[in-house]
Amino acid sequence: MRMRRFVKNIVIVFAWVLVCGCIRNAEPIVRHPALAGQWYPAGVGELAFTVDSFLARVGDVPVMKDMRILVLPHAGYMYSGQVAAFGYARAKFLNPEIIVFLAPPHRSPVRGIALSSSDYFETPLGRVKIDKETVRALMKTPGFAINDEAHRLEHSIEIHLPFLQRIYGKKMEEALPVLPLLVGDLGGNDEEFARILSQKICEKNSLIIVSSDFTHYGPRFEFMPVFGKNVKDLKEGLKNLDMGAIRSILTFDRGGFVRYVGMTGITICGRNPISLALALPLRVTDAKLLKYDTSCAITGECDHSVSYAAIAIGGSFSNTVSSNAFTESDKKYLLNLAKNNIRLVLFTGKKISPDIRNVPQSCRIKRGVFVTLKKDGQLRGCIGTVAPHAELCKLVIENSYNAAFRDPRFQPLSREELDRISIEISILTEPVEVHSIDEIVIGRDGLIVVMDGQTGLLLPQVPVEQGWNREEFLVWVCRKAHLPDDAWRHGARLYRFQAIVFADQS
């Protein structure tokens, strides 16, 4: 009897341990503040008052329509808090669905992009919800990985959270999640990371906060260019140096920004996050430098100085592929790949088969692509793929073969014609449905028409070459689909896309 009671008690205790264990496991993972009481006030009242005071000193600001990106500093509040406030004073007019942080890691080296496993980031003002759904999706993608150690003591994201909590309030705890990304060495693959990231966030009403300070000057930073003989010269020299980088950001010129950083050696801690942001498919409509300052000017201590800028960029995200994604070397590689493939088929009957490890990174991404052949300036074949099912390099091989030997409008290409053939490649964006023909821009957009199982496509360069206006373009794309000329007025679905077009000089 005693044994039975003993066993029963053991079972009850074991069950209770299991229940308690389950309860503990169900508790959210919280990344606790690492900076409170050091970089910003730890007291709830004092912190709220400090942030509110920064915002109040900005005063009334004009609203930037469709503001999508803010570049803001991440130093302690006594240094850069007021500069950051110039950005957040505008952000309070927005109603984002997600806030994405692109920030640099300062304490742990990161390759690719470091995600956090936390459910919440916490400050003295409360908790901020993490977009776990997007984190889980990105975890499945090469280059993105959980790295809680990199996030644990990092200041470049935490320093911004009290501003968001003051302008958006309790929404930050449940309704308005953030996606904290620490952007490390991307290995020159910024465009591919931008493509992956844009697929996850650009369909949402996103606000992207790029966390970065600008020039770090002084012996502690091992960066001491000579700007003159006195403090005035130093301040002017720092500003001129910073403005070179800021101009590239304002013009959304990633190539210019990267070249400037390389040429000057400017010590911008967030150069990787900025480069990634400039690779995103944003159609910029407005860009402004909201505020600029330096710790030298703020404190009067100029042996060391860090620069701060608040920059706002407005526009709309699209799936446009940036021409910056493909260097002249990349384009030459694809053109040679197409021509060598045709030559190999003509003389051996076999297609070219490159070692994917030796293919440039940008030529491995998945993009729709058309290959056009011209003989003595006249069309000799054109075949392409709108929805990519393989890497770009493989589609160039496939479509160069099809354009040369499978285009039903022409006889297969002969050896005798090869030296008279020029090749043009058009790399496509994903098609977007047209809701108004006013959206169609001649020279920028290609068109696809779909109706009753019939499909027609014309590349962006065609109406330019033919001298068509918008309506003539619509008529001819309908003819390409063997539809009535006015099908676009009577139920046909239209899609537009853009293309990067380049050709050899044959």
How high is the pLDDT of residue 55?
Answer: 96
Residue among 479, 442, 440, 438 nearest 461 (CA) = 442
pLDDT tens column, 433-489: 888 898 898 988 899 999 999 999 999 999 998 999 999 999 999 999 999 999 999
| CATH code: domain of residue 307 | 3.40.830.10
Q: What is the DSSP code string of 347-411?
A: HHS------GGGS-GGGSS---EEEEEEETTEEEEEEEESS--S-HHHHHHHHHHHHHHT-TTSP
How high is the pLDDT of residue 487?
Answer: 96
Pair (389, 302) in one structural domain: no
| Rounded Cα–Cα distance for residues 178 and 167 (Å) | 14
Higher-confidence residue of 184 and 386: namely 184
* DSSP-derived pairing of the beta strands 369-375 and 454-458: unpaired
What is the DSSP secondary structure assignment for residue 27, as one 8-state letter? Answer: S
Pair (263, 350) in one structural domain: no
How high is the pLDDT of residue 3?
Answer: 46
How high is the pLDDT of residue 171?
Answer: 94
Write out the residue range of the structural domain in which residue 393 sits: 326-503
**Mean of the per-residue pLDDT values for the chain?**
90
pLDDT band at 16 (very low <50, low <70, confident <90, very high): very low
Tokens 């009334």 found at: 60
Which range, of 47-61, 361-375, 393-407, 472-486, averages the lowest pLDDT? 361-375
In a domain, 5, yes or no: no
pLDDT average, residue stretch 65-92: 96
How high is the pLDDT of residue 506?
Answer: 54
How high is the pLDDT of residue 328?
Answer: 85
Residue 13 has pLDDT above 80, yes or no: no
Q: How many CB atoms lie within 10 A of CB 24?
A: 8
What is the DSSP secondary structure assignment for residue 64, as one 8-state letter? Answer: -
Pair (243, 378) in one structural domain: no
Question: Which domain-ending residue is among 260, 287, 318?
Answer: 318
User: Under 8 Å CB-to-CB from 362, ≥6 apart: which residues?
Assistant: 191, 192, 325, 326, 327, 330, 392
Q: Which amino acid is at 155?
A: H
The answer to whether 381 and 372 have CB atoms below 8 angstroms apart is: yes
Higher-confidence residue of 231 and 361: namely 231
Strands (E), 168-243: 178-183, 206-211, 216-217
- Angstrom CA distances, 284 to 249, 312, 317, 470, stand at 11, 11, 9, 24
| CATH code: domain of residue 392 | 3.30.700.20
pLDDT tens column, 245-260: 999 999 888 888 999 9
pLDDT band at 325 (very low <50, low <70, confident <90, very high): low
pLDDT band at 324 (very low <50, low <70, confident <90, very high): low
- Angstrom CA distances, 265 to 31, 73, 177, 225, 243, stand at 34, 19, 36, 10, 14
How high is the pLDDT of residue 76?
Answer: 96
How high is the pLDDT of residue 318?
Answer: 62
pLDDT tens column, 88-101: 999 999 999 999 99
Question: Which domain-ending residue is among 318, 342, 369?
Answer: 318
Residue 15 has pLDDT above 60, yes or no: no
Higher-confidence residue of 327 and 246: namely 246
Pair (289, 364) in one structural domain: no
| Rounded Cα–Cα distance for residues 256 and 287 (Å) | 16
Pair (385, 337) in one structural domain: yes
Query: The pTM is what?
Result: 0.63
State whether the Cα torsion 390-396-397-400 is positive or negative.
Answer: positive
User: Under 8 Å CB-to-CB from 51, ≥6 apart: which residues?
Assistant: 81, 85, 162, 163, 166
* DSSP-derived pairing of the beta strands 493-497 and 432-433: antiparallel
| Rounded Cα–Cα distance for residues 486 and 190 (Å) | 43
Number of domains in the chain: 2
pLDDT average, residue stretch 3-32: 55
Pair (345, 258) in one structural domain: no
Pair (37, 136) in one structural domain: yes
- Angstrom CA distances, 100 to 97, 129, 177, 189, stand at 10, 12, 9, 19
pLDDT tens column, 338-384: 999 999 999 999 999 988 778 887 788 778 899 999 998 899 999 99
Phi, psi (5° rounding) for residue 270?
-100, 30
| Rounded Cα–Cα distance for residues 381 and 159 (Å) | 57
Alpha helix (H) ranges present in 383-496?
A: 392-405, 461-466, 470-480
Residue 21 has pLDDT above 50, yes or no: no
Pair (209, 358) in one structural domain: no
Residue 415 has pLDDT above 70, yes or no: yes
pLDDT band at 321 (very low <50, low <70, confident <90, very high): low
Residue 504, both tokens: 């050899």
How high is the pLDDT of residue 19?
Answer: 42
In a domain, 252, yes or no: yes
pLDDT average, residue stretch 263-272: 96
In a domain, 8, yes or no: no
In a domain, 405, yes or no: yes
Pair (296, 335) in one structural domain: no
Q: How many CB atoms lie within 10 A of CB 404?
A: 28
How high is the pLDDT of residue 14?
Answer: 41
Sheet-wide strand order for 493-497: 432-433, 493-497, 446-451, 454-458
Residue 450, both tokens: 């779909």
SS3 158: helix
| Rounded Cα–Cα distance for residues 237 and 214 (Å) | 13
| Rounded Cα–Cα distance for residues 205 and 114 (Å) | 23
β-strand partners of 455: 450
Higher-confidence residue of 37 and 357: namely 37
How high is the pLDDT of residue 323?
Answer: 56
Pair (297, 241) in one structural domain: yes
What is the DSSP secondary structure assignment for residue 141, as one 8-state letter? Answer: S
User: Under 8 Å CB-to-CB from 143, ≥6 apart: which residues?
Assistant: 112, 113, 186, 189, 192, 193, 196
Residue 223 has pLDDT above 90, yes or no: yes
Residue 315 has pLDDT above 70, yes or no: yes
In a domain, 455, yes or no: yes
H or E segment and range at residue 286? strand 282-294
Residue among 499, 478, 503, 493 nearest 430 (CA) = 499
The answer to whether 306 and 106 have CB atoms below 8 angstroms apart is: no
